Amino acid sequence: MNTWVVGDIHGGLRALTQLLARPEIGPDDRLVFLGDYVDGWSQNSDTIDYLIELQAKRTIITLKGNHDDLCRKWLETKKTNPLWLGHGGAATVKDYTEKADNALEQKHLAFFNNLPTHWIDDQNRLFVHAGFTHVKGVEQEYFSDLLFWDRSLWELALAVKFRLTPEDADYPQRLLQYREIYIGHTPVTRIGYTEPVRAANVWNVDTGAAFRGPLTAFCVETQSWIQSDPVYQFYPGEIGRN
């Protein structure tokens, strides 16, 4: 059984189904979704439905992203904020308003409320949406929301990428807590890539699906990956988060 890490989907269900239909992903393989299932393309509620159905069929782990938490808060209160609406939330509100009834919203709210913030496998590999700030790891994080909001871990990994090795005295303690760390949250398109990027022992699998990049599934055992077509091509006439 292999473990495949899937990057941020952002309502791009057509890209996800294309990706999971690829023969490289076996029916018994584990899927770890790093979060941010909504806010971007138009298939937000459909994506959550798909993931709920997938949970009943195969081994998957669905982690919480910051956009999932923002959607959860909106489903609970129906209060919006301009910052969220301007970063993909408007597409989510429109989708739920047009398609969902109260029963579906409650079903999805239960899904969001049960999302874990992280997962650590038996090889001491950490899977988390964004990062963490505590030098002793995620279990010691005082503010749990940082696990799906923090960008400093990725910035730290990029900063030491070519400068330090784990043997150096100044190597960051945070990076020594886990064999490998898999994150999304910060698209690698910001630094000019559309494929997963490794910095120190951190793999970033968010390849910009919400913008003009593809959706990626990364195989932990082989350190290889497969990708969908650029997600925007599945949604002509939409802008996503561009």
When pLDDT is averaged across residues 116-135 and rounded to a whole number, the result is 98
Name the helix (H) or strand (E) containing 202. strand 202-204
Say yes or no to pLDDT of 34 above 90.
yes
Question: What is the pLDDT at residue 100?
Answer: 79
pLDDT band at 80 (very low <50, low <70, confident <90, very high): confident
Lowest mean pLDDT of 41-55, 91-105, 172-186, name the range. 91-105
What per-residue confidence (pLDDT) applies to 181? 98
* Domains delineated in the chain: 3-234 (3.60.21.10)
Tell me the C-alpha distance between 184 and 118, whole Å: 12
Can you give the C-alpha Rg of the chain in angstroms? Answer: 17
Among 79-83, 150-154, 219-223, name the one with the lowest average pLDDT. 79-83
Portion of the chain with pLDDT greater than 90, in percent:
95
| Nearest one of 126, 193, 123 to 158, comparing CA atoms | 193
pTM greater than 0.95 (yes/no)? yes
Over residues 180-191, the mean pLDDT reads 98
Count of other CB atoms within 10 angstroms of residue 49: 18
Residue 162's pLDDT band, with cuts at 50, 70 and 90, is confident
Residue 68 has pLDDT above 90, yes or no: yes
Q: What is the pLDDT averaged over residues 182-189?
A: 98
Query: DSSP alpha helices (H): ranges in the chain?
Result: 13-20, 44-55, 66-77, 82-84, 90-99, 102-113, 152-160
Average pLDDT over residues 47-69: 97
Sign of CA dihedral 29, 30, 34, 36: positive
Q: What's the mean pLDDT when you consider all of the chain?
A: 97
Model confidence over 193-235: pLDDT tens digits?
999 999 999 999 999 999 999 999 999 999 999 999 999 999 9
CA gap 186, 8 in Å, rounded: 9
Q: Are strands 180-183 and 197-199 parallel, antiparallel or unpaired?
A: unpaired
Q: What is the pLDDT of residues 98-113, one digit of tens each?
A: 987 999 999 999 999 9
